[in-house]
Amino acid sequence: MCRSINRTNMATKMKALIGFGKMKDDELVISCNTIIGAMTDNAKYPAPTPALADIQIMLDDFTAKLAVARKRGSPEDTARKDESRSPLIVVMQQLGYYVNSVAQGHLSTLLSSGFPTNSTSFANQVPLKVDNVRLSDGRQSGQVKLDFAPQKIATIYEYRYRIRTDIPVEWGDRFTTTSSRSNIIAPLEVGKFYEVQVRAINTQGVGDWSDSANILVR
């Protein structure tokens, strides 16, 4: 006896959404900045296409022309802003195709890109493990900048740090942030190696701590 297949029960393939043309100007700028930040030095996306540096140039051009259009508001300024917007949308869509080709529907890989996804049903789940934790020198000695891949389903993040030693010491206090970019950790001891971990939190619970990122404080 043959059984019919209920296709509505088949799993929906997760994918990055590329509807940038429907975004308002401010939303487009925020989305592009989020994606570029999440994909910079992201090991899951080793060769972004188009190159992130090229997209950043186009984003900077659009952002500058948007500011001029809002300040003066002439038809010519608005036209220049719109002319800058169109190619930016095209390259972001191309980047979305690259992300989908690499991720192949794998949700954590998609989320680490910073792209919006069709995974709205995951909003009621505990956050995933935070990916792509990166440390870099701060503007001043004894400072470190912390960046990591954002998660749409997270409402806040916690991070902790400690000096890296042969015999692990206890982690220090936990700190909270709502931003995945440019978090400054200070003051730290110059000449010491530090390690940092991050985890995401939402109303459903707390995600796992990330893998440690390490840096020599200068």
Q: How far apart are CA 37 and CA 40, in angstroms?
A: 5
Nearest to 39 by CA among 19, 55, 22: 55
Question: Rounded CA gap, 33 and 114, in Å?
Answer: 9
Question: What is residue 187's three-state secondary structure?
Answer: coil
Classify strands 156-163 and 175-177 as parallel, antiparallel or unpaired. Answer: antiparallel
Q: Is the pLDDT of residue 21 over 50?
A: yes
Q: Do 127 and 206 touch, CB atoms closer than 8 A?
A: yes
Does the pTM of the predicted model rise above 0.75? no
Question: Residue 5: pLDDT above 80?
Answer: no
- pLDDT digits 0-9 by tens, 155-214: 889 999 999 998 888 998 899 998 899 999 999 999 999 999 999 988 678 899 999 999
Mean pLDDT value of segment 39-46: 93
Distance CA 201, CA 165 (A): 28
User: What mean pLDDT is predicted for residues 82-96?
Assistant: 97
What residue spans of the chain are helical by DSSP H? 25-39, 52-72, 75-103, 107-112
Which of 66-75, 132-141, 145-154 reaches the highest mean pLDDT?
A: 132-141
Confidence of residue 8 (pLDDT cuts 50, 70, 90): very low
Task: Please tell me whether residue 172 adopts helix, strand or coil conformation.
Answer: coil
Q: Coil, strand or helix: which one is 113?
A: coil
pLDDT score at 122:
53
Q: State how far the Cα of 131 lies from the Cα of 149, in Å rounded to an integer.
A: 6
Quick: pLDDT tens for 91-144.
999 999 999 999 999 888 888 898 888 765 555 678 889 999 999 999 999 999
Distances 192 to 73, 115, 182, 217, 218 between C-alpha atoms, Å: 52, 35, 21, 6, 8
| pLDDT at 203 (0 to 100) | 67
Query: What is the model's pLDDT at position 127?
Result: 87
Q: Where are the alpha helices (DSSP H) in 40-74?
A: 52-72
In this structure, how many other beta carbons lie within 10 angstroms of the beta carbon of residue 177?
15
Chain center to CA of 136: 16
Distance CA 14, CA 11 (A): 9
